[in-house]
Amino acid sequence: MAQLYYRYSTMNAGKTIDLIKVAYNYEERGKKVMVFTSALDNRFIEGKVVSRAGLSRDAIAVSEETNILQMFLEEDAKGKVDCVLVDECQFLKKHHVQELVEIVDSCDVPVLAYGLKNDFRNELFEGSKYMLIYADKIEEIKTICWCGRKATMVGKIENGKLVKTGPQIEIGGNEKYVSLCRKHYNDGRLGE
């Protein structure tokens, strides 16, 4: 029985590397995978998942209007799709998550979705909220704060200081965001 997996973490935990590894493992065994990523994440090339370590692979860019279920059914009709992988799932809309659920429940195909859980304001993203509601398995991918403790928060940096207000979605990498433990997120310390 297929399941919907939600694998979440803060920044720099290796979510994209894990997705690329899973895709490789399926394909190495002759299985067909579909990889999706958010069209909002424009740091690299649209239609690619790219890890900070430099690994990348092609993906289907998902916008608000994208019907993931329809795209899956069309591709599956050409040849059985064995697994669906989603990067940056925090940017999905409710209907996208429900389409992933339909792929799992009606087509019996596993879906593994990777993303952040909370934003720099410590609020859930829409995609994260619905992944927490619908996922069969929820798994944390761990990373650490500068102090060595487990990082659970995403901090946003502006002018060398931690900020906790502003628009929820501002695409950026290490120049804009940092993973912090709860203590250092709350007290605003970005390093020793």
Residues forming the active site: 88
Nearest one of 90, 88, 36 to 59, comparing CA atoms: 36
* Alpha-carbon dihedral angle through residues 36, 41, 45, 47, given to the nearest 10 degrees: 20
What letter represents residue 60's amino acid?
I
Token pair in block for residue 142: 């761990």
In the Cβ-directed half-sphere of 82, how many Cα atoms lie within 13 Å?
Answer: 12
Instruction: Give the pair of three-digit tokens for residue 10.
Output: 């803060």
As a whole number of angstroms, the distance between CA 176 and CA 87 comes to 19
Q: Which residues contact 167 (CB under 8 A, 6 or more apart)?
A: none
